[in-house]
Structure formats: structure tokens, C-alpha cells
């Protein structure tokens, strides 16, 4: 269901600044520019300061067994229950809620949307807990995933509890938009689940049985849906009308697709020292990620080689096989296609944003966050 927050050096991924297709800075540095990067970092830091107390209060309301797993997952505790200064994630989704509310309704709307922002972050972490179990991912945020520590059953139940907390936060919120926000978030969860079902179904199919259109639709459901929902919830809390909320939803969805395209590139070429995952983890799992499916559909000799490689199960420790598979994806054009498609999706996102918020200055927070997640090197 989820989109993973991974890290890599640009030199490993070749991800370019997708806000301006083909724009590559000298030295291969495509991280956020100083101003945009600082603005996004400030927004994310402010979001954490506003949202974390709501998250902690919600988690504290859980029964002891669920509370312990949630605290561990968020990085607040070690496995033995002692306090930790862990990484709870970048808070992109709650930041989008608050930035959208502020863009359309000013500081008062942003302050009123904190509970909605926390609800979105709870849903995101519900998907992470479940995804880690389904994908058998051993690490997240540079430490063992919850299922490896507490077991499958407990990790799944903790995820279920986080989703329930999200809806309870909105159900108890006296804000006039809370009911519509709860319905929209519930619809988003259904879409996330449908996208995850499609993803797992595709993993059981042969490489040549999966189309690029199918994978793009799946990626929109798994990644774009929650980013779009986050923006739409911010719009609702600012008192925006249906057209503005729909446009911001479109902005988040398209930016989310751009994010997923880059994340898929990182999943193949990411540096394990920064991603916290083994090199070529997606290739080892034989994931039909966007660059892989694009490469398979290219009709090139490299595509034929890739199909043969993907048709065989991964042998643990076969780093040479992973390198060969990554090279086949690149030679078949998968990496170049993913970068070009990411640029196109970001251009569409900007068009949607301009429909909702014509004034670029008012949209500054949303622009900075979009720049951060799509131009990132982490």
C-alpha cells in the first residue's frame, strides 16, 4: 500500500530535477536547492512539532500491547521498551495537509487542520506496518521492522489499530469539515487496499503479462492516493469548494506518481548505506516496479534478457546477478523512461496546483514540498 521513504545518492540513481525536465546541475548534484530545501525542511520540522503531540496522545490511548509496537514503529522506543531518539519519518503527508490548509485559508486554517494531519500520518503508518509484513522487508528507517521484532500477527494488529485511531481522531474533531474528511480518508484507505491487491496479484504473474498502464494505475492507487487525499483534506479544513479540493487532490496524486517513479529508481540503484535496505532489494524481490515494466515493454534485446532473469527466482547473496539485472533494466531504457515520466507527472501536478491556487506565493509551501519529494536525493 505504501510508498517507502528511501534514500540514495544521486550518483547511484541518476534522478534529475523533474520540475524542469533535463535540467542537471554540474557535478550531478540534484538535491533540493538551498532555498527550496530550507523551506521544505522548515515546513517538515514545524509539522513534526505540531503533529507529534497528537500522534503520541493517540498512541497512548491504545492497549499496552498495541502501544508498545506502535511506539517502536514510530521510533520512540527500542524493542525493550526503553526510550529512543528514532526516526519517525519525514512527515510529508501531514505537511501537505497543513500546507494546503494554509494556502487556502491562512494560519487559522492550518492550526485547525492539525488533527486531520495526524490522522493522515496514522493511516500512512498503518500501510507501512502492513506492507512490511506482506513484502517481508527486514528493515525500515535503518532498524528491524516491527514484524521481525514482534511477529506478523502483532504488527498487523498494530497497523489495524493505527487506522482506527485515524478515523477516531476525525470522528471526535468538532471542525465542520471533519465528517467529510473522515469519509474521504476512508475512501482513500479502500483505494490503497485495492492498489495493494493489484500489486500483489501482479507479482504472481509472468513479467510479460503486466502492462505499463496497469502498473501506473497501481502506483497512483498505492502512492498518489494518500498524497492527494492529504492535500484535499487541507483544502476541506480551509473551507474550499469541491473544485479546489479536486484540483489539490490531482496535484497530490501527480506529485505522488512522480515520487513513486523516483522511489522505484532508488529501489534498484539506491545506496544501501543510505536506504537502509540491501542493494537492488526490489530486483531481488522480482518486483514489477515502473522502471522494470517499462524496460520489459521496450522490445529491445536487453528486455529479452531481463525477462529471462526475472523469470528465475533470486538466489540469496547473488550480488552479481542483481548487478546484471540492474544493467539490463538500464540498457532497456527503464531508468531513462522513469525519469522522463516523473518530469511529465510533475508538470501535470503544477497544472493542477495552479487551478486551485493561482498565486504562486500562496502555494509556496506546497511547491516546496513537491520539490522536496521529487527532486530529493533522500
Please give the pLDDT value at position 120.
98
Q: Model pTM? A: 0.87
Q: Architecture of 10-18+32-374 per CATH?
A: Orthogonal Bundle (1.10)
How far apart are alpha carbons 325 and 319 in whole angstroms? 10
pLDDT in tens, 249-282: 999 999 999 999 998 998 898 887 777 667 788 8
Please give the pLDDT value at position 142.
84
How far apart are alpha carbons 283 and 314 in whole angstroms? 8
Q: Show me where the domains of the chain are located.
A: 10-18+32-374
Contact by Cβ (8 Å): 11, 28: yes
- Measured in whole angstroms, how far is the alpha carbon of residue 376 from the centre of its chain? 13
What would the grid cell of residue 77 be? 522506543
Q: What is the DSSP letter of 61?
A: T
DSSP H or E segment with residue 336: helix 334-356
Contact by Cβ (8 Å): 294, 334: yes
Contact by Cβ (8 Å): 86, 94: no
Contact by Cβ (8 Å): 259, 297: no
Contact by Cβ (8 Å): 93, 27: no
Please give the pLDDT value at position 1.
58
Q: Which of 128, 67, 140 has its CA nearest to residue 93?
A: 128
- Measured in whole angstroms, how far is the alpha carbon of residue 316 from the centre of its chain? 27
How far apart are alpha carbons 230 and 90 in whole angstroms? 14
Please give the pLDDT value at position 278.
72
How far apart are alpha carbons 79 and 233 in whole angstroms? 34
How far apart are alpha carbons 129 and 2 in whole angstroms? 9
Distances in Å between the Cα of 137 and the Cα atoms of 4, 152, 209, 376 are 11, 12, 25, 23
Please give the pLDDT value at position 15.
36
DSSP assignment of 108-129, as one string? HHHHHTHHHHHHHHHHHHHHHH
- Which residues of the chain register pLDDT less than 50? 3-35, 377-378
Bridge-partner residues for 139, per DSSP? 144
Amino acid at each position: 500500500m505504501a510508498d517507502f521513504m528511501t534514500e540514495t545518492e544521486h550518483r547511484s540513481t541518476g534522478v534529475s530535477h523533474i520540475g524542469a525536465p533535463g535540467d542537471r546541475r554540474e557535478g550531478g548534484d540534484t538535491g533540493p536547492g538551498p532555498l527550496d530545501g530550507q523551506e521544505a525542511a522548515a515546513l517538515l520540522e514545524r509539522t513534526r512539532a505540531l503533529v507529534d503531540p497528537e500522534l503520541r496522545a493517540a498512541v497512548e490511548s491504545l492497549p499496552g500491547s498495541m502501544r508498545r509496537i506502535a511506539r517502536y514503529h514510530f521510533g520512540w522506543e527500542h524493542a525493550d521498551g526503553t526510550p529512543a531518539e528514532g526516526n519517525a519519518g519525514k512527515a510529508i503527508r501531514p505537511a501537505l495537509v497543513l500546507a494546503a490548509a494554509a494556502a487556502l485559508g491562512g494560519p487559522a486554517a492550518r492550526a485547525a487542520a492539525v488533527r486531520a494531519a495526524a490522522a493522515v500520518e496514522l493511516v500512512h503508518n498503518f500501510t507501512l506496518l502492513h506492507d512490511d509484513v506482506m513484502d517481508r522487508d527486514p528493515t525500515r528507517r535503518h532498524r528491524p521492522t516491527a514484524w521481525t521484532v514482534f511477529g506478523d500477527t502483532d504488527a498487523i494488529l498494530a497497523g489495524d489499530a493505527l487506522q482506527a485511531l485515524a478515523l477516531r481522531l476525525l470522528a471526535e474533531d468538532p471542525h465542520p469539515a471533519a465528517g467529510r474528511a473522515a469519509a474521504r480518508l476512508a475512501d482513500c484507505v479502500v483505494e490503497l487496499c485495492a492498489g495493494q491487491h493489484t500489486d500483489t496479484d501482479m507479482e504472481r504473474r509472468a513479467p510479460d503479462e503486466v502492462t505499463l498502464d496497469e502498473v501506473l494505475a497501481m502506483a497512483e492507487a498505492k502512492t498518489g492516493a494518500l498524497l492527494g487525499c492529504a492535500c484535499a483534506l487541507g483544502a476541506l479544513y480551509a473551507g474550499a469548494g469541491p473544485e479546489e479540493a479536486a484540483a489539490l487532490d490531482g496535484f497530490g496524486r501527480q506529485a505522488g506518481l512522480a515520487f513513486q517513479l523516483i522511489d522505484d529508481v532508488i529501489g534498484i540503484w539506491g545506496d544501501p548505506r543510505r536506504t537502509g535496505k540491501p542493494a537492488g532489494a526490489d530486483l531481488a524481490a522480482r518486483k514489477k516496479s515502473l522502471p522494470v515494466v517499462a524496460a520489459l515493454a521496450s522490445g529491445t534485446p536487453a528486455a529479452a534478457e531481463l525477462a529471462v532473469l526475472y523469470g528465475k527466482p533470486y538466489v540469496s547473496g547473488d550480488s552479481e546477478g542483481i548487478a546484471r539485472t540492474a544493467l539490463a533494466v538500464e540498457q532497456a531504457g527503464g531508468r531513462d523512461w522513469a525519469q522522463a515520466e516523473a518530469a511529465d507527472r510533475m508538470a501535470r501536478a503544477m497544472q493542477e496546483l495552479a487551478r486551485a491556487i493561482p498565486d504562486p506565493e500562496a502555494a509556496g509551501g506546497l511547491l516546496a514540498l513537491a520539490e522536496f519529494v521529487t527532486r530529493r536525493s533522500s
